[in-house]
Every structure is written in C-alpha cells, then in structure tokens.
Structure 1
Amino acid sequence: MGCSCYADIEGPAFYRRDVDIPASWAGAKIVLQFGAVSYYVDVYVNGMLAGSHEGLWTAFDIDITRYLLAGQSNTIDLHITKPADDGDRFPYRNVLVGFIPYVSTTFGGVWQDVQLIAHRAPIFSDVHLSADPETGSVSVSAQTTAYDGQTNVSGLSWSAEIIAPDGQIAARLDAPFAYGRLAASLTVENPQAWSPSTPDLYQIRLAILKEGLPISETARSFGFRKLETRGERLLLNGKPIFLRGVLSWGWEPRTLAPNFSEDEIRAEFRRVRGLGFNFFKLCLYVPAPRLFEIADEEGMLLWLELPMWLPRLSDHLREQSQKEYAGILAQVHHHPSVVIYSLGCELSADMADAELLEALDNITRRATSGVIVCDNSGSGEAYGGLTSDTADFNDYHFYCDLHYFTPLCEHFRRDWRSPRPWIFGEFCDSDDYRDPAELVENGARMWWRDLLGKDGGIHRWAYRDQELLVGGLNLPFSDAQMQAISRKQSFIYRKRILETVRARRDIRGYVLTGLRDTPMFVGGVFDDLGRSKYPADSFRQFNSDAVLLLEQGRGRMWQHGGDRPAPKDKFNHPSGSKVTFRLVLATGEAAVNASQLKWTFSHKISGKVIAEGIMPVAKTLNAERLHELVAIEIAMPQVARPEICELTVELNASDGIRRNSWTHWVYPAASLENAIIYDPAGQLSDIPAARIHDIAEADGSKALITPLLTGEIEAFIRSGGKAILLHTGEGSLPALPLPFWRESIKLLHSHAVLADFPHEGYADLQFYNLATDYALDTAALRERFGAEAVTLIMTRLDARLFQQSEYLVEISIGAGKLYASTLRFSGGTGDQVQSFSANIAGQWLLGEIVSCAF
C-alpha cells in the first residue's frame, strides 16, 4: 500500500479530471458536490478558481456553471492541503482533526464521493426535521433556491409526504410554493417507535410540483425515538435502557480515512452485538453517511462525539468550529440511531472556554431533538476545564488500576448535585500484546506499524520497535505465549470493572475503550486482523442487559481508637472457612421473570463439585434495578495445597438462562515459622513472626523479613543468610512507579516460589490485594548485583514501551539469597484489604518465599 508514503506530506496534492459536458446542459445550474475533503481545497475549472472549502468532515457544493463550456471537454483541478504539523499551513491542533492522527496519522484528499449535478428546477437544500414519538408530530423545513436566479412561482406548489415502514402513506401535506425557507408540520397517527429491537424507519419526501407534476424532489429517512433523562434514570422512548458501548476512533488501515464498506459496517455491528454491546461511540470523527444509514437500519445506537480534541483555541478555530458543527449536524441530525452528542473530549479551560462551549451547545441543541448532549466528554472538572457544564448526564473517563476504580467512583459521586445519569464516555482500556508474526503482508511487516502518531513518539508508544525491544530482553516466553497471557489478563480486568459498574445504581451506561487495535493502541476487543480477543459467550455474561453479580457483606475494624472500613477478599479463602456470598441480578431495559437459581462450587481443573444448591426465585425482577436474589454460604474445602475453584451461577427465567462464573482460590494455612522480622521503623507490624531488634541477632537459621536493605543486612546475606525484602515503594533498591493492572503484562516464571502458588499462567484476581504501584528496575538490579545473580520470578513487561521490571526476584549475594518484592503483602491501597491477616493470597505467597529460602 502507498498510504504510508505520504503520511508526513502536507501537500498541496493535485487532482485533475477532464469531463465532457453535454451540450444539453446549457442553461442548467451545474454544481460539484463533495461528500468530504481533507482538509482545504481550491477548485479550479478550466484554469479558473471556482471556489474553496475548509473543513474535514462536511459535505459542500461548488457552483461551477459559469466556468464550464457546454458540449466540450472541461478540466477540473483540485488543489488539496491536509492537516499537518506546526509551521505548516494547517497545524493539526489548530483545526478539527479528531483523534485519528493520534492513533495513526493525519489523512488528506477526497475521501468521500464527488458528483457533478445539473439542476433545471428549483433546488432543495438544508433540510431539517424533527419527530416526536409521543405525539407523532413531524416538523420539516428546507431551503429552496431557483436554479436560474428567477423567482417566478406561477404554477408551482410543494408537498411533504411521510411513508410508513410498511410503504404506506402515513401523512401528506400540499401547500403553495415560495422561494426561501419552506416549513410544515405533519402528524402520523400511532407512530411506530424506532428502537434497537424495532428499528422502524419512516421516510419524508419533499417535492416541488409544476402543474401537479414533480420537478424537484428530496427525501430523508427518520425514526420516532427519544432518549431522555429523568433524575438518574435513562429512558429510550419512555422505557429504561442501559447503554453498553464500545469506542471507535475510525481507524481503517486500507484508507486511513473512516470510510468503510457496507459489508464492513454490517459485519462490525454484528460482531459488536455478539459481544453484548448495544451502543457504538464514534469518538471524535464523522464517518461517511452510509454508516449512519446502516445504524438506522440495524438498530445500533450511536454516540457522535464531535471532533474537538486537544485544540489550540484561536479566533479562527472558534469561528470554524461553529461553522463545521452546524454543517455536521445538518447532515446527521435526522438519523434516529444517533442518541448522544458530545461537543469535544477532555477539554481544559485553555482549549475551550465558556463562550465557545455555549455557542456549540446552542448549535447542537437547536439542530437535534430527542437526544442527550454532553459539552465536554470526561468532564471539565476532571481535566482542568470549566467546573460548570450544560451536560444532560455525568461523563467520566476512568483509566485506573482495579483497586482504585471503586474509590474513584465514590469520589466523583456527590448526592448534593442535581441527579442525572452517569455514563462513562470512555473507560476500561486494557493493553495486551501483539504477535508480530501475524502482522506480515506479502513477506513484509504491515506498513502502518511504522506510524508513531501525533503527540506520541517512541517515548510513549514503542510499538514500531517492539521486535527489537522485546528481543533484547531474552524473556523465556514466545510472542504467541505473551499474546495469550495478555488477553486472559485483559479479559479478567474488563470483567471486574464492568461487574463493578453494574453493581452501582447511579451508572446507566458505559463506553469501553476500544473497538479495534490501532498503530498506537493494543486494547481493542478486536485485534489487528479483526478477530475477537474474547469468547463471545463468556464476555456476554457480564456485558448484557441483565447480569449476575457476586457480592458480599461489609466489615469494619477498630483501629487506633476509631472505626475504619475493613474490605474483604472476595476471591481468596482460607482452607475450611465458611464464606457467605450474595447473588445479585442487575437488570437493564427489561424485567426478568425468574423461576430458579442454581449454583455450583467446584474444582476448576477436575470439575469435581464441592458444593451446590438449587433455590426457587419465583418472582418478576423489575427493569433498571439491583435485585438481591439469595445469600449462599459455602464451606471451603480442606486443602493441603492451594486449589483453584470456580463458582458458577445460573438463573432460569422465562426468556432463557443467565449465567456467570468466578474463579476462587483456596489456601491452607501459611507458615512463617522459619522467619524472623527486622523492622526498626515498624512498617511490617501486622506480620505475625518473631522479631529481632538488632541485625546481629540474625544467625542465619531463619529467613530475615525486612523492609530495608542496609549494608549490615547485605553483609548478613553475603555470609550465607537468607533475606526477604518487602519493598513496597522507593527505597533500598531502585524501583519505578508503575501501574499494576494497566499498560502491562505480568509474566509468571517457572520458579519454586510459584510452584505451589495457584495460577493458570497469568495474573488473575488472586493478585487483587497484592497489586502494587511499584516495580523493581531490572536493568539496575543486574548492574548492581550482576546479571547472572538475578533470577526472575514475576516480571512486569510494559505493554507500550516494552521495558522490563520486576515484582518478585531472587538475587544471589555471596553465599546467601535475597528475595525482593514490591507486592503489597498487607494490601492497604485503594479498596484492597487493610492488613496482612486479611490478605489470604499474600500470606501464602510470603510463606512460599520463606519456604524457598531454605
């Protein structure tokens, strides 16, 4: 492909076409009609400038009548300049380019259809309509102009006719004609509502008639639908709805521009629905018209985020954005599939001030009906923007480690604010890993892999150099293995986040980031080859209208003279303990007529049942509610070694079976008999082991657990001692502040410490309360102790930069061993458990490290 050859060229690019104009076109008004051009175009006809246009997303016409020669060949030239870099004519941050340049590069040229049209009758333009599903009222207006400049209306009339989904005429109006703005109101009796389940489309046809015969016509499809908020509720056509969306940036490697074929659009919608989504966010781009038409036909709900991202505010951008937004909305407002508009994304105060956002909000609300609007997706307060807004709903973009998600939600919820629904405009990205061997075309790596994106670069995303960087690490995992590991991790991350969302009454929808992998993003639900990364049946268990949830009661503890929250570990359990769970159903748009609930707790590997139960649940579970179904108590098995178990729940209902399942880990009691603690600052006060107050008391008969590495301790190790350094932040060894669940792949090495620690080859929720904000610097460890001295146990591979760091290592120092870890054996951050005694997995892992020390 040649796309990559021009990625950094601003232009102008020159297009030329010779066109034979029929002699019969003499006397007609002839226009060139462009679907869209990126970004600026001068149109020349027979060497004369006929017109210009600025704007990447809007359709436009150029009247070329007076430059053409009827009955002859005519030359049409286009001089096109695309958005480019600072110092060029149109720097990309000074214009509305959306987000495509940040995930790939800017694109330029004629990217939608061009038509040459001859008019010999009055012309319709700027058609606007709105439809009220409650009353059946349809308001329509259109601008009309004479093709020849004349204003004679003798013998002219006009009509508006509505065609129902069954092809019958539902309403008609006939009226005298006059040039200028025509307007009419029609009423459809008993209108059929448009919705995802019943995407019933009407069509309105406008005609200008002469002596009763049509001489000019135009038509628009539309639907009767209304998305609205009532307090914290979100209603579509008066009925509850929960939005489950996925985010698209419009990336298309074949064209760079977001111009997709009909088959591609329909297939994408089918695959999205197959994963349980009912909603599709067009993030900071406006696709070609056919996508909106197919969404109308297929019943796919759309969020159109208008293309303002990271702009440099100027007088020109202020004026141009209002012009472009008006043009975009004129094109798309009649599509019933578009139910949400946002004016921009994560805008700080210097990017969009109150005056601009108010102007854009007014333009949007005047142009649309039956929709909800957000002025700044992500919210101004979260991104240094305006602290007040005109949005119809709360919209945040939380990209966080698992254990910080609930605290973030609690922090941003304020019951003193006017109630409105909460919809995550984007969130829950989860990077995985590309297998480069799959991305080869005609024997060469795919061209787009060399792209770095705008405002990115190798220091932020090193995907271009992945093979070189990973190859230099000499990890004992193949690319295919790391891809499989990363996708299992991203599945569990997304499952946990989405289930947490559904357990909150105030949240009425979300948009998951994102749809597909791009040159600068490897967190799509579909990979670079268009394949789903997750089993669809498993993903729908937590991404459907009704979702089964696993919940627990709450606990408190008395500490330092007062009550504190005492979170429980939901998934790690002591051998033989009795654990109580509450099974909950989150409903969305539909009530569930339940009859019976069945649960099974079994060994995950063998499938052998440990406990099970069947309970009647004979009741109607209303829509948009959280329903506690039953409480179950499970006696964990008595185990001598850790066991991986699974709880599976099935709810029988009149419309089918809802299922969900969760992995659990059961541990025998951990022993720290062979350990002593040296902790002069009291950082490890909750770990129950014998303590020494002077390092000289350590005689080497037991492993030394300590939060610091001093010269004395290093000398103890060098003389044959064994030490365990619990290094939860910056300190004795070089450590890097890094997220645990995000932007990384956890690699569990074959090592004695992990031989009896329960895992299936990847980091699952057994690490929830061990997750940390720090990892040890691998290169610095090897430099300090020697590469051969450092044995890896648990590695962090940065999924964006392909840099290596460590969560757990074994280091040979002289005749002894040092085990160093940044994992949080006492939890204590976010909504983790708050003590070593509550961290069941932490207890066992520390016990295994102690055992391996001898």
Structure 2
Amino acid sequence: MRYLRCCCLLFCSLLSLLKALGQPAVSDIIQHPLGRHLVSLNGNWNYIIDPYEMGYYDYRREPFENSPSGRGGFYDDRLPKDKTELVEYEFDHAPTLQVPGDWNSQAPELALYEGNTWYRRKFTLNRAGDKRYILYFGAVNYEAHVYLNGRKVGMHKGGFTPFQFDVTDRLKDGENTVVVKVDNSRRQDEIPTVNTDWWNYGGITRDVSLIEVAQRYVADYRIQLDRNDPATIAGYVQLGDSAAGVQVTVDIAEAGIREVLETDADGRAAFRWKPRKLELWQPESPKLYDVRILTAEDTVADRIGFRTIETRGHEILLNGKPIFLRGISMHDENPMLPGRLRSEGDMRMLLQWAKDLNCNYVRLAHYPHNEKMVRLADEMGLLVWAEIPVYWTISWENPHTYANAAQQLADLIRRDKNRASVIVWSVGNETPLSDARYTFMSRLVAEARAHDDSRLVAAALEVHREGKTVILNDSLGELIDLVSFNEYAGWYWGGTPDGIADYTFDIAFDKPVVISEFGGGALAGFHGDSHTRWSEEYQESLYINQLKMLRAIPTLRGMTPWVLVDFRSPRRQHPVYQDFWNRKGLYAPTGHKKKAFFILKSFYDEMEAAY
C-alpha cells in the first residue's frame, strides 16, 4: 500500500508539472452559454418510449447507423411516402414531454421507467450567413445520441454535465429537426454506477439551446485571483479557433481594468493584472463585478466575484480570515413538484431555505447541479461544495470508467471555474477502501488540481469504529485539503441518540475537519418520544447529541448535515414512514420545518457569533 501511495503521489506531481507546461485538455464546452445569443429549444418535445431500442437497432441487433445508407432509425423522423409503406413509429402524433424536465415526473407510466426514450423537436431558423451555430445541452441523463435533420452529430455520456456540437454545416434555412435518443439505464461501469440513493430521473433535464456566435468567438475564459498572489487577477481568454494576433479586450470598469491582449498561436491570451483595491466576495457581501470580453466580432458579458480560499493548519481561510462552514447538503430536486429543478424560482427557493437555516455554505450533492444554481449561489452569498457522482462502489479497475469520471470532473471545473461561490471540488462520496479505489481517487485529486489550483479538493470519506472510537485513517486524506467524512451515529449505528455523545474521534490527519454528512430520518408531523424512530423528536434528539459529540473535535471547522429537504429514492420503501422518500430532511416537502431544523439553526447562530 505504501508503494502504491508513492506511485500515486508521483503521478500527482507529474500532473502538476504538465500543468505548468500548459493547460490540461478538457472537452469543448462554451463558457457562459447563458450570456450568448440563444435560440431556446425548450418547450414541448414529442417522445417515443423504446425499451427494446427498435429505433436504433435492426432485428439482428445491428445499429441502423452502420447500414450503407445510415438510415432506418427513429432519427429519420419519417412518414410513409404513401399508403403502402410500412413505418412503425411516428413523432407527429406522439405525446409530449416538457424540456427541461425528467420523464419520470411527467407521465405516470414512466415513474419508475429506466431505459430508452426518443425525443423530437422541430424549429425554424433563418440563418445568418456569417455566424456559427452550437447545439448546447445543459444535461441529459444519462447517455445521449443526438441527430440533426436525420444525421448524427454526436453522443455524450454523463447525466449532469453540459455538452455541445457545432452544427453550422448541418442546419437548413427554414424547418430543422433535432432527435435525441436518451438512455438512463444504470450500468456497473458508468458514473454513477448501478447503486445510488437518489431517483434516477431520465430525460433532457436542463436547457437546450442553439447558440449563435461569430465565426471567431470567445469560447472560454478564466478570470480569478491568483492563489499565490491574491493582489493579482490572473487568467486567460481562449478563442474558438487557433488564430494568432487577435486583439481581445477585457473590461472590468468598476475595478479600473480595461486591458487589450493579443492571442498566441493557440488562440489564447493570458494575463496578470494588479487592479486597484477590490471588494472581495464573501457570504455577508457577495460582491460581483460586471466583466466584458470583447473582440472585433464578439462580446461576452459576465458577473464575477473575487475571493481567496485556502487552509492553514486547522483553519479554513476565506479572504485570509478563519471561517466556520455552516452548511447543509442538498439534491437537485423539487420537493413540491416532482422531478428535477426546472426553473430559477425552484432553485432560489431551496437556496433561500438554506439561508433561513443560517447557512453560509451548501454541498451540492452528489453530482454537478444546474449552472443556474451555482450562479444563484454567487448572487445570494452561499459557498459551494461541488461534486461528481463517483458514488459508493465504482468499477475501479476499468480505464473507461476512470476516463468518464475524469471527463465529468473536467467539465464541471470548466463550467464553474469563474464562480466565486465554489470553494471545493469533491471527487466522490463514501467510496470503500481498496488499492484500486485509492489509485482511481488519487488520480482524480491530481486531475482536479491540474485543472484548478485555486480551490480546495475534497471527498466525502467513510469512517470505521473500534468500540466507542470513530476512526478516520483513509490514506486519501493525505492528498485532499479537508478531513471530510460522513458518519451516522444515532441512526445506522451507535444506538439511540442519547448515547452517541460518548463516542470520540481518532483522526489521522492534522487538517480542518468538515463533517460532510450526518443525520437521521423523521416523518414530518409524526411525533413520539426521543427513542421513537421516524418521529420529529428522535431526529431532534439526534441533532442535539450529534452536536455535543462533534463539538469535542477541536479541529471542527464546518459541516453539511444530510439533508436540507426530504427527497425521493427507490431505496426507501417503508410504506408508512418513507413511501419512496428519504426522510432525513430538515424540511418536509411542503416546506414545514421539522424540530431538528431549530437545533441546527441555533448552533449555526452560535458559530456565526464565534467567527
């Protein structure tokens, strides 16, 4: 094991060296799509359920795409030429699903459906001859095959990260047709794997847009404080091609910055500036600056905050000052209207519920949440732990599984690297110890640092127990910045809540401790004494005694209890107390605050005063 750790540390060092020589490669995702000229493709899409994938394979299980003509699948969107022709599908009279949205919550027969569904959307476009067009998907769960006007433009795996295709040469003036084959089947070698504790919502769950850009457009940029020199704004602007000598202006008027850059042979312009005094972003005052990036052909406007985050000894320092992370974990799910969060109003509601708990921090578990959610956290003053769905038991030795996880991590970092709210990149949750797992996770830590050295890297680790001692000695703790772990004393182990305060912690690493999960279930409105499972009183007692136990950790610097609000899960089947809901929320789905809410809020009020 020691030899393996040394090898992984060498790998981390090598990635850091490669980073110094050049930026790590990431997939082609346009930065800040919400700030571009968009043709929204949201709305009603016709759909066809296809559990046997007859729209993709012929009766010999050969893909129609591999036939000489490449035709024959549902992506052709055909109608019979005359009354004699056999065509066994039709989109025109098929039912519709709202996009963005999952299919499980929109049709009763799809509530538990996992498999293939075809989506079809027609739109009309009058093309501008000197423009490029990017077909952009905020997220599709899980595997998407995308066709435009009967021809495949590409595919993507990963249910929570954005992807795009340049379709400039595939579009027609007038009517166009997009068809998407969506498959949310769970598979062992995917990310996440077959076993999770959340609803596997299938479908086109986030915005779909046709983005119109200039022939030479601003594809990407990073504008943040330099980790090693916080008085300096550093970063780059990347064009969509490799044009050298293009002038790029970066304008941050309120900070007194208007600089003209020139791209190198890769179409990139790097910069370092020392602005006049900046007002730093912080939860109490989430200052955002208007930023404009201009070329002769393109202009992008964004709102960006500037802050530093680091650890020093046992402290977490935000803008150089110690902070206690008063947090809560949350899912990307609307408790009131079934399904994924679909609108800014839904997202703002949940973040406000966190602020009502006096949180300054949220853990967006267990996968990348909507970009709009992270931008709202910027605006509302909530620090963010962002995570990829390396969850429980992954196929640790499969190189394709690792490549998938690394790509999702890179896409998350590329998308959200300019968000001041994001302070932690998490590479996974509750992954069981093994040599293969250590290698996999260590490489992900190195990947995260290679893509972005300005934030903390963490993972929600597991603990084990010996008697009344809770032990954390996972070797991955050597590589990450926080001692972050999940523990469920008083719920899954440790007896009743009033006995857990006797437990002590043996933590192998001299770093800030952030408890990434603890908690227990309660059915809102069900009451009993403090020993009655599922009662609000049991959950209340659990929080009282958890906080007594955790206060004894001298290096405790934050927590994100599980979870903000009850959420749906096929794993939670008790017909009376769960009914396919995980009931660990401090809020009921109605917005009712359970009794434990007030225990945690009181503690957070105390921590706010102490810091």
If the length of structure 2 is used for normalisation, what is the TM-score? 0.71
SS of 1:142's partner is strand
2:437 alignment counterpart: 353
Q: What are the residue-to-residue correspondences of 1:11-22 with 2, within 5 Å? A: 11-22=115-126
SS of 2:610's partner is coil
Distance in structure 2 (CA, Å) of the matches to 1:528 and 1:95? 30
2:73 alignment counterpart: none
1:373 alignment counterpart: 457
Q: How many residues align?
A: 478
Query: Amino acid of the residue matched to residue 74 of structure 1?
Result: N
1:525 alignment counterpart: 586
Cα deviation for residue 295 of structure 1 reads: 0.7
Correspondence for 1:329 among 405, 408, 413: 413
1:279 alignment counterpart: 361
Distance in structure 1 (CA, Å) of the matches to 2:419 and 2:244? 34
1:319 alignment counterpart: 403
Shift in alpha-carbon separation, 1:113–1:384, aligned structure 2, 3 A: same
Q: What are the residue-to-residue correspondences of 1:185-334 with 2, within 5 Å? A: 185-209=272-296, 215-252=297-334, 258-310=340-392, 311-313=394-396, 314-334=398-418
Correspondence for 1:75 among 149, 153, 177: 177
SS of 2:567's partner is coil
Correspondence for 2:604 among 543, 546, 564: 543
Distance in structure 2 (CA, Å) of the matches to 1:383 and 1:7? 39
Query: Amino acid of the residue matched to residue 257 of structure 2?
Result: A
2:258 alignment counterpart: 172
2:203 alignment counterpart: 109
Cα deviation for residue 352 of structure 1 reads: 5.5
Distance in structure 2 (CA, Å) of the matches to 1:279 and 1:135? 22
2:95 alignment counterpart: none
Distance in structure 2 (CA, Å) of the matches to 1:94 and 1:171? 48
CA contact (8 A) 1:349 1:384 kept: no
Distance in structure 2 (CA, Å) of the matches to 1:361 and 1:262? 31
User: Which digits, 9 at most, give the CA deviation of each residue in 1:698-755, with x for residues without a partner?
Assistant: xxxxxxxxxxxxxxxxxxxxxxxxxxxxxxxxxxxxxxxxxxxxxxxxxxxxxxxxxx
CA contact (8 A) 1:250 1:258 kept: yes
Structure with more strand by fraction: 1
1:391 alignment counterpart: 480
SS of 2:544's partner is helix
Correspondence for 2:511 among 401, 420, 426: 420
Cα deviation for residue 279 of structure 1 reads: 1.7
CA contact (8 A) 1:285 1:307 kept: yes
1:662 alignment counterpart: none
SS of 1:102's partner is coil
SS of 2:369's partner is coil
Q: What are the residue-to-residue correspondences of 1:748-759 with 2, within 5 Å? A: none
CA contact (8 A) 1:111 1:257 kept: no
Q: Percent identity over the alignment?
A: 23
Q: What are the residue-to-residue correspondences of 1:128-143 with 2, within 5 Å? A: 128-132=222-226, 135-143=230-238
Correspondence for 1:119 among 201, 213, 216: 213
CA contact (8 A) 1:405 1:497 kept: yes
Q: What are the residue-to-residue correspondences of 1:585-596 with 2, within 5 Å? A: 588-589=610-611
CA contact (8 A) 1:40 1:82 kept: yes
Shift in alpha-carbon separation, 1:499–1:544, aligned structure 2, 3 A: farther
Cα deviation for residue 325 of structure 1 reads: 0.8
Query: Amino acid of the residue matched to residue 496 of structure 1?
Result: N
Cα deviation for residue 128 of structure 1 reads: 2.5
Distance in structure 2 (CA, Å) of the matches to 1:484 and 1:10? 32
Cα deviation for residue 3 of structure 1 reads: 4.7
Distance in structure 1 (CA, Å) of the matches to 2:207 and 2:538? 43
Shift in alpha-carbon separation, 1:491–1:260, aligned structure 2, 3 A: farther
CA contact (8 A) 2:226 2:233 kept: yes
Distance in structure 1 (CA, Å) of the matches to 2:343 and 2:122? 27
Q: What are the residue-to-residue correspondences of 1:505-654 with 2, within 5 Å? A: 505-519=554-568, 520=572, 521-534=582-595, 539-546=600-607, 588-589=610-611
CA contact (8 A) 1:350 1:385 kept: no
Distance in structure 2 (CA, Å) of the matches to 1:342 and 1:102? 17
CA contact (8 A) 2:249 2:261 kept: yes
CA contact (8 A) 2:261 2:269 kept: no
SS of 2:298's partner is strand
Query: Amino acid of the residue matched to residue 504 of structure 2?
Result: C
1:36 alignment counterpart: 139
2:29 alignment counterpart: none
User: Which digits, 9 at most, give the CA deviation of each residue in 1:484-505, with x for residues without a partner?
Assistant: 9811232122122224423542
Query: Amino acid of the residue matched to residue 127 of structure 1?
Result: Y
Cα deviation for residue 200 of structure 1 reads: 0.8
Between 339-348 and 221-230, the greater mean CA deviation after superposition: 221-230
Distance in structure 2 (CA, Å) of the matches to 1:367 and 1:380? 32
User: Which digits, 9 at most, give the CA deviation of each residue in 1:745-785, with x for residues without a partner?
Assistant: xxxxxxxxxxxxxxxxxxxxxxxxxxxxxxxxxxxxxxxxx
2:113 alignment counterpart: 9
1:803 alignment counterpart: none
**Structure 2 portions without partners, runs of 5+:** 1-104, 466-470, 491-496, 573-581
Cα deviation for residue 328 of structure 1 reads: 0.9
Shift in alpha-carbon separation, 1:13–1:533, aligned structure 2, 3 A: same
User: Which digits, 9 at most, give the CA deviation of each residue in 1:57-103, with x for residues without a partner?
Assistant: 22121122222223x3222211111133xxxxxx1x4222389x734
Shift in alpha-carbon separation, 1:273–1:63, aligned structure 2, 3 A: closer
Shift in alpha-carbon separation, 1:281–1:388, aligned structure 2, 3 A: closer
Shift in alpha-carbon separation, 1:377–1:219, aligned structure 2, 3 A: farther
Correspondence for 1:46 among 131, 149, 166: 149
Shift in alpha-carbon separation, 1:375–1:533, aligned structure 2, 3 A: closer
Cα deviation for residue 109 of structure 1 reads: 1.5
